[in-house]
Amino acid sequence: MIVTPQTMRFDQPLTLQSGAVLPSYELVYETYGQLNADRSNAVLICHALNASHHVAGLKADANGQAIPRSEGWWDNMIGPGKAVDTDRFFVIGVNNLGSCFGSTGPTHLNPATSQPWGADFPVVTVEDWVDAQARLIDALGIRQLAAVMGGSLGGMQTLSWTLQYPDRVRHAVVIASAPNLNAENIAFNEVARRAIITDPDFNDGHYLRAGTIPRRGLRIARMIGHITYLSDDVMNEKFGRALKPLVDAARTDEAQAIERLAYQYSTQAIEFQIESYLRYQGDKFSEYFDANTYLLITRALDYFDPARRYGGSLSQALARASAKFLLVSFTTDWRFSPARSRELVKALLENRLDVSYAEIDAPHGHDAFLLDDPRYLAAVRTYFERTIATDLKGEAA
């Protein structure tokens, strides 16, 4: 499956939750599969912190040929014959407002100043993203989505769809998510933001004008993030206390890793493999991710809290929903623990909604929602085949 992103421009102003107005914006998106005749088989995929519209398939190069190893971030889940089967469903991946992967965001020009928006880009919320996505769905001629689906922050968007546009979502697939962030989640986001904002190269968020990039802060933010994505167990299994191997420079044929047993006794050298892994992840991230986008997206996470307008009652907040739900959580996910998904299940059941819930005993922590756990993929496949597909008009169940 080779895909090319498309861009949709919206010239009608979008009023955000904050009251700010975005005069116009563009959304970048990809689609996989074919929209059926009655436009009833569309599935919208919402992305999490550092992902994009490139959900599945391989990217095309200038000649339309597949770029190797350019698979979308949920390619193990979505594609022909996969759990979300693009032979049957028309799947849409969309990049969110404020992101740095093509949709209008802080690296784009502010039409009022002809300078990059930078820190002046308005704060966007989960609700704002859903409003913007709904216009894309309008423009694609789709009245009702067969499903909205997402993991983590994408699960929050999915939940918000069922509250903002209840009659436009038949099914909501909410994976490794939560009804809001808890204090510890907010705390980790805040430390990451402070690392970015206090980096001298941040220049009050106008680093593009200044010709700098707050790479130090981005590295720290990503290292913190990575620790919270993995479970304690999987970190111990993958890295434990193993020392970073030496590389034998004398071997000219191929770098040869030599197991190292002695400490270097240094506070700055890389001693342990886990340190090497984290620094690598931080370096890589700081090369491609926009710092203002990081601030915006973590803030959207912090702000999401549908129960807030209902005195904290999640049950009341979900009274507007009419979709059917599949929720999935992972036992070792300490960022969005199963207990948070169970809160959602309880509040949905209190509203007498149809809810399926799978709690997967997986070792990988929050990252599990992106990985190939067979029970997890089977649970999603089964839900799509036996529940969502049976709703499709003009198709045998």
Residue stretches of the annotated binding site for substrate: 222, 367
- DSSP string for residues in 105-146: -TTSEETTTTEE-GGGSPP--HHHHHHHHHHHHHHTT-SSEE
Candidates 53, 54, 226, 366; catalytic one: 366
Q: Is 382 in the site for a copy of itself (CB under 8 A)?
A: no
235 binds a copy of itself (CB under 8 A): yes
Name which of 283 and 385 has its Cβ closer to a copy of itself: 283
- Write down the least CB distance from residue 371 to a copy of itself, Å: 18
> Binder to a copy of itself among 279, 342, 346, 381 (CB under 8 A)?
279
- DSSP states of 327-391 as a string? EEEETT-SSS-HHHHHHHHHHHHHTT--EEEEEE--TTGGGGGGS--HHHHHHHHHHIIIIIGGG
Specify whether 114 is catalytic. Answer: no
Q: State yes or no: residue 240 binds a copy of itself (CB under 8 A).
A: yes
CB neighbour list of residue 149: distance below 8 Å, 6 or more residues apart = 43, 44, 45, 46, 84, 158, 172, 173, 174, 175
Decide if 333 is catalytic.
yes
The answer to whether residue 305 is catalytic is no
Is residue 120 close enough to count as binding a copy of itself by CB under 8 A? no
Residue 193 within binding range of a copy of itself, rule CB under 8 A: yes
The residue among 168, 165, 3, 130 whose CA lies nearest residue 74 is 3
CA distances 224 to 45, 92, 123, 217, 285, Å, are 26, 31, 23, 11, 12
Region binding a copy of itself by CB under 8 A among candidate stretches 31-39, 165-173, 212-220, 314-322:
212-220
Q: Is 20 in the site for a copy of itself (CB under 8 A)?
A: yes
Residue 111 neighbours by CB under 8 Å, 6+ apart = 23, 24
Does position 80 bind a copy of itself by CB under 8 A? no
Q: Is 259 in the site for a copy of itself (CB under 8 A)?
A: no
Nearer to a copy of itself, 183 or 249 (CB): 183
Question: Token digits for 373?
Answer: 């756990």
What lies within 8 Å, CB to CB, of 275 at 6+ separation is 244
Encoded tokens for 176: 């490794």
Rank residues 115 and 236 by Cβ distance to a copy of itself and give the closer one: 236
Kindly tell me which residue out of 186, 319, 371, 377 binds a copy of itself, with binding defined by CB under 8 A: 186
Which of 95/189 has CB closer to a copy of itself?
Answer: 189
Backbone angles phi, psi at 42, to 5 degrees: -85, 135
CA dist 135 → 9, 14, 74, 128 (Å): 10, 10, 24, 11
Q: How far, in Å, CA of 179 to CA of 192, rounded?
A: 22
Which position among 52, 152, 160, 329 bears the catalytic label? 152
Based on the shown chain and the rule CB under 8 A, indicate whether residue 282 belongs to the binding site for a copy of itself: yes
End-to-end CA distance of the chain: 26
> Segment 291-330, which members bind a copy of itself (CB under 8 A)?
292, 295-296, 298-299, 302-303, 305, 308
Residue 362 found at the interface with a copy of itself (CB under 8 A): no
Closest CB to a copy of itself among 134 and 186? Answer: 186
Could you tell me the two tokens for 280? 């690598």
Among candidate residues 128, 131, 333, 373, the one labeled active-site is 333
Residue of the chain from 64, 81, 141, 241 that contacts a copy of itself (CB under 8 A): 241
**Closer by beta carbon to a copy of itself, 75 or else 302:** 302
Q: Whose Cβ is closer to a copy of itself: residue 96's or residue 298's?
A: 298
Contact status, residue 210 vs residue 192, Cβ threshold 8 Å: no
Alpha helices in the chain (DSSP H): 126-139, 153-164, 183-197, 207-210, 215-229, 232-238, 273-288, 291-303, 314-317, 338-350, 374-383
User: Segment near a copy of itself (CB under 8 A), from 21-29, 140-148, 219-227, 353-361?
Assistant: 219-227
Q: Is 123 in the site for a copy of itself (CB under 8 A)?
A: yes
Enumerate the active-site residues. Answer: 152, 333, 366
Interacting residue ranges for a copy of itself, rule: CB under 8 A: 17-20, 119, 122-123, 125, 180-184, 186-188, 190-191, 193-195, 197-200, 216, 219-220, 223-224, 226-227, 230, 232, 235-236, 238-241, 263, 265-268, 271-272, 274-275, 278-279, 282, 292, 295-296, 298-299, 302-303, 305, 308
